[in-house]
Structure 1
Amino acid sequence: MKLALILAPYDSGHYHAGFGQGPDAIITGGLVDELALHGHEAEVIEIDKIEDEDLREITAGFAVCDAVSRAIGIARAEGRFPIVLAGNCLTAAGAIAGEGSDSIVWFDQHGDINTPETSATGFLDGMALATVLGLCWRTIANAIPGFSAIDPWRCMLVGARDLDTTEKKLLEDLPVIRASCADLPEKAERLKAAGAERTHLHIDLDVHNSDTLQANRYAAPGGPSPQDVRQAVSALARAVPVTGVTITAYDPAFDAKGEVPPVVGRLLVDFLAAMERI
C-alpha cells in the first residue's frame, strides 16, 4: 500500500518539544523499514515549522491542523493512505478535515471531551475530541480546510478510564459509543448503524496500560496491552471503511528503552494487513 507518514512535531504549539519529539522518534525507531518489510511504500512528510513563534497555543495548534489537512489532501490526490504522527490529539481535527471523515474511533486513556466552560485547567488537548465533535472552538475549527464536525452518534471512545467529573457528565448526556478493546467488534456495529462510511482512527498511545508500555508521563495502569490494541484496530479495519490514522502523545523522555516505536510499527502492520484483506 502507498502511504503518507505525515509528521506534526508540535506539543502545545511548540515545535519539537515534549510530545513534539515523538513523531521523529517513531520514524528513527524504524517505522519506514518495518512497513517496507511488509510491502508498504511510505513517503515521510514533515509539517513545516510555524514561522511566528509568538502565536498563542490555540492559534498555533489550529495552524498545525490547517497544515495537516492540506498535506492529507495532497497525499490522497497521489493515492496515498494518510497516517499522521503528531504530538497533540487536537491534530485529529486537521486529519478528519483532510479526509472528509464522517465518523471517528478515538482510543485514549482520557476523554478529551472538556470544553472551555467545563475544563478546570484550560488544557487545549483536553478539548480535542470535543473540538472534533463540534462542542467547542467552532469558529476556528471551521476555518480548517474541509472541516466538518462529526456527529457524536458516529463517535466511539475506546479505553477511556481517566475521566474527570465534568467529562463523565458530558459522556452521560452525549450519544458517544463507549467501548473497550474486547467489545469493539460488537460496538462497531452500532457505529455502522449510525451511518459511518468514512471513519478516522485516532490512537493516543497512553491508552495502553503503563505497566506494559509507558508512552508519556500521563500514562496510567489499567488499560489494554499492545496486543489488545492491535487486535481491536484490526477488527475495526474489517468492520468499517477507515480513511486515515492519527497516532499521538508519545514522549520519548518517558521511554528509556525505546519500546514504543516497535509497538507502533507492529500496530500499523497488523492494521494495514486487515485493511488489505477486505
Structure 2
Amino acid sequence: MNKKISIIGVPIDYGQSRRGVDMGPSAIRYAGVSDRLEKLNYVVNDLGDVPVTQLEQYKKKNTDNLNNLEQVIEINENVAKTVDQEMQNDYFPLILGGDHSMALGTIAGVAKHYQSLGVIWYDAHGDLNTNETSPSGNIHGMPLAATLGIGHDRLINIYGYTPKVKPENIVVIGARDLDDGEKELIKKENIKVYTMHEIDRMGMPKVIEETISYLKERTDGVHLSLDLDGLDPSEAPGVGTPVIGGLSYRESRLAMEMLYESNIVTSAEFVEVNPILDEKNKTARLAVGLIGSLFGEKLK
C-alpha cells in the first residue's frame, strides 16, 4: 500500500435527515486515527475538513425529490477536487465522513485516475436509489447509482463527467435493507451483492476471497466505501440509519485484514459516524480499528 496517506474530513450532513453526522470526522480524529496510522509507519498528512457552510434552514426539497441538492453538489465538487489533487501528489486518500452522499465527490475524484475503477460498497444499504425511486429524497441513498450514471443529471455529472464506475466493477457487502427500486436496478445491471444471507451462509473469508478475485480480474484500482451502519447497531450504535442483523466487528476486521493482504485497495472512505447517537465514541473507535486493519495492523 502507498505509505503516504492524506486524511480528508467531509463534515456533511445534508444528504440525510438526522443531524450530528457532520461531527463524524472530528470523532474519528479524536479516536486517534492519525496516531494509529503513524504507528504503522505511514506518513500521514491531515488536510483538515473540506469547507461546509452550515445553514439555519436545514432540510430543503426541490421539485425533483432531492433534499438539499445545491449544498450536496457544492460540497462534493470540493471533495472531488481535493481528492483528485492528493492523488496527483501520490497520496492515498483516506476520507472521513460525514453522510454517505460524500461518496459522490470521493469517487468522482478517484475515478479520474483509473481506466476501470472498482468499488467495494460495505453497507447495510445499496444506496442505489434515484430521485424517482427514493422514498425520502435523501441523497445519501443515491450515490452509488449516481456514480453509475443513473439518476438526476446534476448528481451524475459531479466533477464534469459520467459515468465514474461500471456496474460490473461494483461489489456490495452487508446489504440487508434494499428498496424495491434498488432491487430492480441490481437485477437490471447485474450488480454483485453479498447480502447478510450470503455472508451468513458462506462466511466472511469466502466473501472477501471472491470479492478480491472478482475485482482483480477487471479493475486497475479499488475504492473502499465503508458505511459504519454495515456493522450491527449493537456494536456500532452511532449511525443515522441502523439496521439490526448486521456484520460484527470481528467479521469486519477480518475483511479489512484480507483486503490489506490483497493490496487492491487504492483509496478509502469511512462514513456515517454520528457522535450524537453514539455511546462514548464507540463507533468512531470501531472505525479507527477497522482503518488500522485496512492498513496492515495485526494482532501479532
TM-score by length of 1: 0.88
The residue aligned with 2:69 is 58
Q: Distance in 1 between matches of 2:77 and 2:137?
A: 22
The residue aligned with 1:205 is 228
Aligned length: 272
Structure 1 residues 162 and 273: CA distance shift in structure 2, 3 A? same
8 A Cα contact 2:146 2:155, kept in partner: no
CA deviations over 1:201-247 (Å, ceiling 9, x no partner): 00010000112221314212211111211211332344463221111
* Percent of matched pairs sharing the same residue: 26
Letter matched to residue 79 of structure 1: D
Whether 1:82 and 2:93 are equivalent positions in the alignment is yes
The residue aligned with 1:257 is 280
Q: Distance in 2 between matches of 1:61 and 1:128?
A: 11
Q: Distance in 1 between matches of 2:54 and 2:162?
A: 23
Q: Which of residues 102, 113, 123 is equivalent to 1:91?
A: 102
Q: Distance in 2 between matches of 1:150 and 1:173?
A: 16
The residue aligned with 1:108 is 123
Structure 1 residues 218 and 13: CA distance shift in structure 2, 3 A? closer
1:220-259 residue pairs with structure 2 within 5 A? 220-239=243-262, 241-259=264-282
Q: Distance in 2 between matches of 1:99 and 1:67?
A: 13
1:23-62 residue pairs with structure 2 within 5 A? 23-45=25-47, 46-50=49-53, 57-62=68-73
8 A Cα contact 1:2 1:42, kept in partner: yes
CA deviations over 1:98-150 (Å, ceiling 9, x no partner): 22252211011111111112122212111121111211134443241566421
The residue aligned with 1:190 is 214
Structure 1 residues 73 and 158: CA distance shift in structure 2, 3 A? same
Q: Distance in 1 between matches of 2:161 and 2:71?
A: 18
SS in 2 for 1:7: strand
Q: Distance in 2 between matches of 1:138 and 1:247?
A: 26
SS in 1 for 2:296: helix
- Structure 1 residue 164 displacement after superposition: 2.1
Deviates more, 1:3-12 or 1:36-45: 36-45
Whether 1:219 and 2:219 are equivalent positions in the alignment is no
Whether 1:157 and 2:194 are equivalent positions in the alignment is no
8 A Cα contact 2:231 2:248, kept in partner: yes
Letter matched to residue 178 of structure 2: L
Q: Distance in 1 between matches of 2:271 and 2:148?
A: 18
Structure 1 residues 223 and 42: CA distance shift in structure 2, 3 A? same
Q: Distance in 1 between matches of 2:102 and 2:238?
A: 18
The residue aligned with 2:4 is 2
Gaps in structure 2 of 5+ consecutive residues: 61-67
SS in 1 for 2:70: helix
8 A Cα contact 1:30 1:261, kept in partner: no
- Structure 1 residue 167 displacement after superposition: 1.9
- Structure 1 residue 172 displacement after superposition: 2.3
C-alpha RMSD over aligned residues? 2.4
Structure 1 residues 93 and 243: CA distance shift in structure 2, 3 A? farther
Q: Distance in 2 between matches of 1:172 and 1:31?
A: 38
Letter matched to residue 208 of structure 1: L
- Structure 1 residue 58 displacement after superposition: 1.3
The residue aligned with 2:64 is none
